[in-house]
């Protein structure tokens, strides 16, 4: 489905941007150019972002794993 008609950006592209690290509407605007014309896509973009973003606990677990790995490499 189209999220941004002005830029012809789909929900698939939003999910792809999230998989590549987008975590905010600002990130999506930088990566995909959405929300720059009329702004009507902001609500739908936010819903797509929220549904595609990893849960905060998964991100925290990943950060802790990276930190633990870095500490064990230093020891």
The C-alpha atoms of residue 36 and residue 63 are separated, in whole angstroms, by 32
Please report, for the domain that includes residue 46, its CATH number: 1.10.10.1100
Residue range 20-74, pLDDT digits in tens = 999 999 999 999 999 999 999 999 999 999 898 877 666 667 777 776 665 555 5
Domain span including residue 62: 2-74
Report residue 44 as tokens.
């739908």
Q: What is the pTM of this model?
A: 0.69
Q: What domain count does the chain have?
A: 1
Please, what sign has the CA dihedral across residues 51, 32, 42, 9? negative
């Amino acid at each position: 489905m189209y999220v941004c008609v002005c830029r012809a950006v789909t929900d698939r592209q939003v999910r792809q941007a999230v998989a590549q690290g987008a975590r905010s509407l600002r990130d999506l605007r930088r990566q995909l150019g959405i929300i720059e014309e009329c702004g009507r896509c902001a609500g739908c973009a936010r819903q797509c972002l929220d549904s595609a973003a990893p849960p905060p606990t998964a991100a925290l677990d990943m950060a802790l794993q990276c930190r633990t790995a870095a500490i064990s490499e230093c020891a």
